[in-house]
Amino acid sequence: MNENENQGFDPLDFWLAERMVPGAWENLTPEQQVALAGLARAELGFPVLEARNRDALDFREVSVLSLRDALARAFLAGTGRHPS
């Protein structure tokens, strides 16, 4: 039995699904794309956020804590609150 089968409905899943935008990157302004690319470079070690069609270049092993912090910084930047 899958560990998630008995957990029932998760409101967070619904909240996230409602806010996921297909093609979200294309909907960002060039300035927003540059900001996120800088965050990905500084926090996650991705030199660019474009596919280079080589697994060694397009995939990285990233710790959950690094990903969590990068997402938090992006979220705070989007809300106008600046991370310290």
Looking at residue 74, its pLDDT comes to 87
**pLDDT, tens digit (0-9, with 9 covering 90-100), for 54-82:** 999 999 899 999 999 998 988 888 887 76
pTM of the model: 0.64
Tens digits of residue pLDDT in 2-54: 555 556 667 777 666 666 667 788 888 899 899 999 999 999 999 999 999 99
The CA distance from 57 to 41, in Å, is: 13
Query: Of 64, 35, 68, whose CA–CA distance to 49 is shortest?
Result: 35
Contact between residue 37 and residue 70 where contact means Cβ atoms under 8 Å apart: no
The pLDDT value given to residue 25 = 85
Q: What pLDDT does 38 receive?
A: 92
Of 47, 28, 40, 33, the C-alpha closest to 67 is 40
